[in-house]
Copies of this chain bind each other. A is one copy, B any other.
Amino acid sequence: MEDLWNIWLSELHKKHTGFTLKIKKIIYSGQSDFQQVDVFESYEFGRVLVLYGSIMITEKDEFIYHEMITHIPLCVHTKTKKVLVIGGGDGGAVREIVKHPSIQKVTLVEIDKMVVDVCKEYFPQVSSEFDNPKVEVLYADGAKFVYHGTEKYDLIVVDASDPIGPAEVLFQKSFHEQIYDRLNDDGILVAQSESPFYHQETIRKMYKNLKEIFPVVELYLASIPTYPSGLWSFAFCSKKYHPIRNFDRQYFAGLKLNTRYYNEDVHEAAFRLPTFVRRLVDAG
């Protein structure tokens, strides 16, 4: 059977290079109002969620992205009460956020209900906190939600897919300006910001814009094997707190989080950038 049914998922990261993964089984394939939504069982990375043709999460390595997009800001602003997550319909970011005791409410705004439904069904370890009473899930356009709303947040996490397809607007300056207005005076924005190897123009533009909006803007890195190039970046943007000077090591130690990637050392190392990455951020 394995020899006859020989399917490889090949995701091209640039036009001429990519990542390839052998598939055991197609678990789900659907078309939502926004995008193609596929779930595969792979040999090497367990179940894989693919949106708009891009690998979003795999069972085996999703912990890295989700730990790094949440615990970095939450171990800096340790009194965070209200969090807004834009995108992140798999639930992984929410799962990590509610581990922090100060959290009172997490609002997740996902444009595509099919993503949430599919993750509840096929990724129960990732979507495990959607029923937590502190968590509210809204199906709406994240950009419009930010524009029309009035509520303020301590932390906004932009857990978007790539800047092609439905998430394109979430990489634009006008969106980040509106985010700024929806943050409290000590609020933090964290947003995924693509690969420093493959998406250099996106990073240059995005950080130039962010630095025109926020007084503190720092790029940090994580190694994620199923993302393009294996090296991924995140933007830490803040009105007040600095990601290193205000990192609360004691708070983190007290949490006993049992993380598999994030730790005190990683928190500080993630902001120390290879020269070519430093130049991308400073170029703006």
Interface residues of A, Cβ cutoff 8 Å to B = 10, 14-22, 42-45, 61, 64, 197-198, 221, 223, 225, 229-231, 259-263, 265-266, 268-270, 272-276, 278
State the oligomeric state as a number of copies: 2
In angstroms, how far is the closest chain B Cβ from the Cβ of A41? Answer: 11
Q: Please, which residue of chain B has its CB at the minimum distance from the CB of A43?
A: B16
Sample (17) of A-B pairs whose CB atoms are under 8 Å apart? A10-B20, A16-B22, A16-B42, A16-B44, A17-B20, A17-B21, A17-B43, A18-B19, A19-B20, A197-B225, A223-B223, A223-B230, A261-B275, A263-B278, A266-B273, A268-B272, A269-B270
Other CB < 8 Å A-B pairs besides A17-B44, A61-B197, A259-B275, 19 of them?
A10-B20, A14-B44, A15-B43, A16-B21, A16-B22, A16-B42, A17-B19, A19-B19, A197-B223, A197-B225, A221-B223, A223-B223, A223-B229, A225-B229, A231-B231, A262-B275, A263-B275, A266-B273, A266-B275
Task: Compute how far the CA of A18 lies from the CA of B21 in the bound complex, rounded to whole angstroms.
Answer: 7
A15 to B2, CA, bound (A): 13
Which of chain B's residues has its CB closest to A19's CB? B19
Pick the contact of A274 from B42, B261, B275 — CB < 8 Å? B261
Contact of A260 among B15, B229, B270, B275 (CB under 8 A): B275
Chain B hits for A15, CB < 8 A: 22, 43-44
Chain B residues, Cβ within 8 Å of A268: 269, 272
Neighbouring B residues of A64 by C-beta, 8 Å:
274
